[in-house]
Structure 1
Amino acid sequence: MTSRELWIGTYPVAGAGNPVGLGEGVWSVHLDDETGELADARQVAVVASPSFVAADGDRLYAAVEDGAGRVVLLTPDEAGALTARHETPSGGAYPCHVLVTEHALLVANYSSGTLGVLPRQADGTFAEAAPQVHGHTGTGPRADRQEGPHAHFVAIAPGGRHVLVVDLGTDEVRRYAWDGTTATPDGIAATFAPGTGPRHLDFSADGRFAYVSGELDGAVHVLAWDAASATGTPVQQVPAVVVAADARTDDERARLGQGDHWIRHGAGDLSSHLLVDGDHVLVTVRGADVLTRWRIGSDGLLVDGRSHALGGHWPRHFAVVGPFVVVALEKPGELVVLDDAGHARSRLPVPSAACVLPRD
């Protein structure tokens, strides 16, 4: 038997802005990579709201998702506990995603809608230079969620010459020229229909297609990707929640409005994290509380979608670890492990689980 350590970021149990003391921080758990069993949950750092964590070897960077906006560097001791070594402003308010590059951290600050570029030194600590901060303007039709820009995710485009910022508030993917240390505004890489609310993005292995979760429209969007210009063109849209028609009773099919092959779920479903796993696109959906797996066809388009119930509420981030998918369920405060058939292998309580990061 072998096991893999996972670092888990969390939200404040009592809500944003409340004092810590109910298990908020970074947790460590172990996953048996043969059986899918989770064990040994323990809190290894007290941090106010580390809703997203990213690593560079044993160095862990936690985005402290609050109005002040900070990123904290933590390093482990011999017992595996994490100690805060350094922190720096994130370049905006409520940072929700961090991408580690060789010379800088790239941070999506949700509330302010800004991209922060945080220089870092060879030892992983933050350079004294102030972060570069790139703002944006624009709105969308959803007054409650799109009253302004909301940067939700950062990626490096295929080819490495551009930084992409997925903006839920303006229904755009923003583009920045990137030289490894400096980001320079370079227009819009992709535009979606008003009210899409793009959240997360990932690329096919050959870089010819981008897959984007629409949080507000409950869909997965496929973009044909031109690497030379770092521009995406929409070519397909599929539901983020699907269930085989033959998995429902006659009454359920009549109530939900059965199509030829698939049934779509409720308009209130919110797509969350998305990633490409080999020849599949995986996406979690809050509200419906499922993990959906779409197969990538030979033409890059998505086929044969199927959703799997998670048995818990409000899935956030997830990670593929060997043959398993480990999903953070915020509202019950637990992790669930699914096999590739969508069956739950194990569950383990972790307060307000938000992010899953396999330790190198």
Structure 2
Amino acid sequence: MDTQESGVKLDAKSFKSDQYVRWCPGCGDHGVLATLQKAMADLGIPTERTAVISGIGCSSRLPYYVNAYGFHTIHGRAAAIATGLKTARPDLCVWIATGDGDSLAIGGNHFIHAIRRNVDLNFILFNNRIYGLTKGQYSPTSARGFVSKSSPYGTVEDPFIPAELCFGARGRFFARSLDIDMKLLGQCMLESARHKGASVVEVLVNCVIFNDGTHKGVSQREVRDDRSITLRHGEKMVFGKEKNKGIVLDGLRLKAVTIGEDGYTLDDVLTHDAHEVDPTLHTMLAMMGTTGDEMPVAFGVIRDVADISYDEAVAQQIEEVKAQKPGIRSLEDILMKDPYWEVKE
């Protein structure tokens, strides 16, 4: 949406409500909330033009904690409610706070169609790979074999990879960050809001009570540099503690190499193009490290492709129809355009 500054000075406190934040101490949701409030202030869109819609789950409490319009809806239906709001009020900046259970299970249908339609909504997808609010059942992103209260012998299902689902639904924007990397997360949120159309920011969140350490393979300080890569548009895909590793294309596959070894130079390393329309490479990048391979997990804005949004297309269509039917400007005009009778007592 249009993120031009309002002229009103805003800071993170402007978007903090007076409600007590009811999340467990140490929960990654705290960092996401604080980052979102700062991002909202940085956008310069006033509180009365901001709305946060949520479904059900720990993450879905977020509207109570933001000083803006909000709607805590029912399980999995945030995208449907938000679609109606954005279509009726395209001037609003609409955020969706949702979890892996809320959006990818009961809300999966609404999630993929909001993305397919390219409704101008900003999804913040909290992925802790567990149902936390209902006390520890496995979720659609839990790994095969995961032991939980609802899978005491381990799950026999393969999980959704949110990025893969997003791209399968013809998603134009996808980003990923860790809950503890608030600087990168804030950048992803800002780019999400500036993107016209459906945008998904997956946040790898830690649940300290029911799934503590689920993302430690990429979040722990001692492994993060070598197990993750931050992608930035127009920059080489370089990573590692010494910044001496890179991503190259090896035939039809991506490959992590050490620059200066086996004949690989910096020139061989791919340059990230987030605006490439063809999603093939974006999908390959987003899938790295998610299926047990030795590739680093990709963070940052992976895909950002411009296209007309659903709400923008609806508004254009309405104006075109109005132009074709002069004299009809409202529902009352339509109802009263044919002969009618007035019934009196």
Larger radius of gyration: 2
* TM over 0.5, shorter chain: no
TM-score category (smaller protein) = under 0.3
The structure richer in strand per residue is: 1
Q: What is the TM-score with the length of structure 2 in the denominator?
A: 0.27
Higher relative contact order (CA 8 A, sep 6+): 2
TM-score, normalisation: structure 1? 0.27
